[in-house]
A and B are shown apart, each in its own frame.
Chain A
Amino acid sequence: MSDYAIKTVNLTKRYSGLWSKTPVEAVKKLNLEVHRGEIFGFLGPNGAGKTTTIKVLLGIIYPTEGEAYVLGKPAGDPSNHYNLSYLPENPYFYDYMTGEEILTFYARLFGIPEPDRTKRVRELLDRVGLSRAANQPIRTYSKGMQQRIGLAQCLLNDPQLLILDEPTAGLDPIAHIDIRDMILDLRAQGKTLFISSHQLSDVERVCDRVAILNRGEMVKLGKLEELLSGGHVELIAEKVNEGVLEPIRNLGGRASLHDGRLIVEQPDDGTIDRVIDLVRSSGGHVISVKPYRRTLEDLFVETIQGGNRQ
């Protein structure tokens, strides 16, 4: 069994219009490895190539160059689809059907026989909190309820891999938290989740690793904690003598004094103890020492804006 839930090798997707001479490269030589059992955030601005990549992984479109593997088999292999599920952005279902009918319909697509089908459908309606609305037509569902029914249809086959496109977009805070909790619950069950989202705070809370795409190219990939750690420690002290600034700067840190309050950004290389000693020996009082951590939003903006300036 492959260690990777998803693997792409130099995956390239080019769209060439009927009349345009220059093809548009939606995805450029993408190399991606998503490990089994992790929650992987797939980020990027609009038009970065995220949805195109997902469509290739699902076999809805075909790569121009390169290869894509899902659960160890070539992307699009229908036998794979018993073990994966997909929730598109703003999912639309046959809205004349009730919640129970739509899940029964998808269960039939999976070939789940009766009586397991009815049992599974009812279990999932209960799990996503829609048992009471089971016999209501989907067109009467709120956005949050539609997203829940979308997630329920993803779970019918008890998949190993879930590909979720903007699972929390447009939801109210309560529905947002519900969906996020369900995602964490799925990880606890050992599922692999591949999440494309603009909701960076959600990604930051749930994902183990992220990749950032820009203009079809991968510009950042790594463990979230490593990407977000700023590599320095922030120290705040007061009642500090101005003469201490120079020795601190000599240790490699950036120190500044504002209204008697010292703020130091020191590289996280073990020298912070010496900075604390210097502050104390100068009669200063250390208020806080904390490792600096960027937010995912900071990282995203830096990465995308930095890339766009090049």
Chain B
Amino acid sequence: MNATFALAGATFGEAIRKRILLVILLAALVILLISPAFEPFAGRGQRTLVISFGFGIIQLAGTFIAIIMCTGLIPTEIERRTIYTILSKPVQRYQFVLGKLLGAIATLGFVYLTMGLMFLLITRWTLGEFDPKIVQGLIMFFFQSSLLAAVTLFFSTFVSPLVNYFLSGGVFLMGNLMSTFLDTIQRNPEVTPLTRIPVQILTVLLPNFANFNIQNPIINPEQVLTDEVAYLVQTIAYAVIYMVLLLVASILIFNQREM
């Protein structure tokens, strides 16, 4: 495990020095900071504005950072040949992939912690309260981004970074929309099985990113999640299981890969 953690540490150290990631993080922090200034343009009150705008910015920044960071995790190591000095040490390929994923998750943890602290300060300052549900929302978005990181890392074991941007972005978009799309289709009696079945299969196969968005009950306290704890635990467990499956698939592909 020492080698895996060493690799995770190196991945984290390198990621937090990437200019593009720092620019995204900095931009998100600045937008969060000035978000209360948009109040005059909001039609639904300050709470809605601050919370939905803040979560929106955090989710967007987390998504971009997860994709940009993970598309290059493996191809860059191959291109600049650092992987040769690593794999010629007593490091197994699964340790390399696992180390990369753990490093990416640690980076996302750092990013969410930074943005989350800023967000909590802003909500405390503008709304005059500290709502612990915001922390729940942040944790859920952190898991959403971590799952997206695992998806991107999986693709990075066999496609180029450019293709990976589109693939991972597409999977994220579809993963956010598929359950709503399936609901709509199932409610419509005119939809034939020929259309419904592929949508059902895709909904099962693609990670459901929409489940991680729990903004509505936070913005509108009158909306209550039934059995909130169970929902959060199940969704986090879903993310972890999906990440483990993606990790196994990534390792299987990477084991066969020639560099």
Interface, chain A (partner B; CB < 8 A)? 55, 58-62, 78-79, 81-82, 84-88, 90-94, 96-97, 105-106, 108-111, 150, 153, 157, 163
> In the bound complex, do residue A81 and residue B88 qualify as a contact, i.e. CB atoms below 8 Å apart?
yes
Residues of A within 8 A of B17 (CB): 96
Q: Nearest-CB distance from B85 to chain A (Å)? A: 6
Residues of B within 8 A of A79 (CB): 90
Q: Nearest-CB distance from A110 to chain B (Å)? A: 6
> In the bound complex, do residue B81 and residue A59 qualify as a contact, i.e. CB atoms below 8 Å apart?
no
Tell me if B259 is interfacial: C-beta within 8 Å of chain A.
yes
Q: Nearest-CB distance from B107 to chain A (Å)? A: 14
| Given A61-B258, A81-B90; A93-B82 close (CB under 8 Å) | yes
The 4 residue pairs across chains A and B that have the minimum distance between CB atoms: A108-B6, A86-B88, A61-B258, A109-B89
Tell me if B26 is interfacial: C-beta within 8 Å of chain A.
no
Alpha-carbon distance between A109 and B90 when the two chains are bound, in angstroms? 7
- Which of B10, B85, B259 has the most chain A CB atoms closer than 10 A to its own CB? B85
Given A55-B259, A59-B87, A90-B81, output 9 extra A-B contacts at Cβ < 8 Å: A86-B84, A86-B88, A88-B84, A92-B82, A105-B10, A108-B2, A109-B89, A109-B90, A111-B3
Q: Nearest-CB distance from B27 to chain A (Å)? A: 22
Tell me if B86 is interfacial: C-beta within 8 Å of chain A.
yes
Residues of A within 8 A of B6 (CB): 105, 108-109
B1-25 Cβ-contact flags toward A at 8 Å (1 or 0): 0110111011001100100000000
> In the bound complex, do residue A58 and residue B87 qualify as a contact, i.e. CB atoms below 8 Å apart?
yes
Alpha-carbon distance between A270 and B2 when the two chains are bound, in angstroms? 65
Q: Nearest-CB distance from A8 to chain B (Å)? A: 17
The one of A60, A82, A91 that contacts B90, using a Cβ cutoff of 8 Å? A82
Tell me if B136 is interfacial: C-beta within 8 Å of chain A.
no
Alpha-carbon distance between A61 and B259 when the two chains are bound, in angstroms? 6
Interface size class of B (residues with CB under 8 A): 20 to 34
Tell me if B253 is interfacial: C-beta within 8 Å of chain A.
no
Residues of A within 8 A of B10 (CB): 94, 97, 105
Q: Nearest-CB distance from B78 to chain A (Å)? A: 10
- Which of A59, A88, A163 has the most chain B CB atoms closer than 10 A to its own CB? A88
> In the bound complex, do residue A106 and residue B13 qualify as a contact, i.e. CB atoms below 8 Å apart?
no
Residues of A within 8 A of B44 (CB): none
Tell me if B's interface is mostly helix, strand, loop or mixed.
Answer: helix
Residues of B within 8 A of A84 (CB): 88
Tell me if B91 is interfacial: C-beta within 8 Å of chain A.
yes
Residues of A within 8 A of B2 (CB): 108-109, 111
Residues of B within 8 A of A59 (CB): 87
- Which of A97, A110, A153, A157 has the most chain B CB atoms closer than 10 A to its own CB? A110
The one of A78, A91, A94 that contacts B81, using a Cβ cutoff of 8 Å? A91
> In the bound complex, do residue A106 and residue B14 qualify as a contact, i.e. CB atoms below 8 Å apart?
no
Alpha-carbon distance between A78 and B13 when the two chains are bound, in angstroms? 26
> In the bound complex, do residue A96 and residue B13 qualify as a contact, i.e. CB atoms below 8 Å apart?
yes
Q: Nearest-CB distance from A87 to chain B (Å)? A: 8
Alpha-carbon distance between A88 and B78 when the two chains are bound, in angstroms? 12
Cβ-closest chain B residue relative to A153: B85
| Given A62-B258, A94-B10; A106-B89 close (CB under 8 Å) | yes
Tell me if B234 is interfacial: C-beta within 8 Å of chain A.
no
The one of A90, A91, A94, A108 that contacts B3, using a Cβ cutoff of 8 Å? A108
Residues of A within 8 A of B13 (CB): 94, 96-97
Tell me if B180 is interfacial: C-beta within 8 Å of chain A.
no
Alpha-carbon distance between A210 and B88 when the two chains are bound, in angstroms? 23
Q: Nearest-CB distance from A165 to chain B (Å)? A: 9
Residues of A within 8 A of B7 (CB): 109
Residues of B within 8 A of A88 (CB): 81, 84-85
Cβ-closest chain A residue relative to B13: A96
The one of A60, A106, A109 that contacts B84, using a Cβ cutoff of 8 Å? A60
B69-85 Cβ-contact flags toward A at 8 Å (1 or 0): 00000000000111111
Cβ-closest chain A residue relative to B3: A109
Interface residues of B in 52-104 (CB under 8 A from A): 80-92
Alpha-carbon distance between A79 and B90 when the two chains are bound, in angstroms? 7
Residues of A within 8 A of B258 (CB): 55, 60-62
> In the bound complex, do residue B87 and residue A92 qualify as a contact, i.e. CB atoms below 8 Å apart?
no
Cβ-closest chain A residue relative to B99: A109
Q: Nearest-CB distance from B191 to chain A (Å)? A: 38
Residues of A within 8 A of B14 (CB): 94, 96
Residues of B within 8 A of A86 (CB): 84-85, 88
Q: Nearest-CB distance from A103 to chain B (Å)? A: 12
Residues of A within 8 A of B86 (CB): 109
Alpha-carbon distance between A286 and B193 when the two chains are bound, in angstroms? 103
Alpha-carbon distance between A111 and B4 when the two chains are bound, in angstroms? 10
> In the bound complex, do residue B85 and residue A91 qualify as a contact, i.e. CB atoms below 8 Å apart?
yes
Residues of B within 8 A of A109 (CB): 2-3, 6-7, 86, 89-91
29 A-B interface contacts by CB (under 8 A): A55-B84, A58-B84, A61-B259, A62-B258, A79-B90, A81-B90, A82-B90, A84-B88, A85-B88, A88-B84, A88-B85, A91-B85, A92-B80, A92-B81, A93-B85, A94-B10, A94-B13, A96-B17, A108-B2, A108-B5, A109-B2, A109-B3, A109-B7, A109-B89, A109-B90, A109-B91, A150-B85, A153-B85, A157-B89
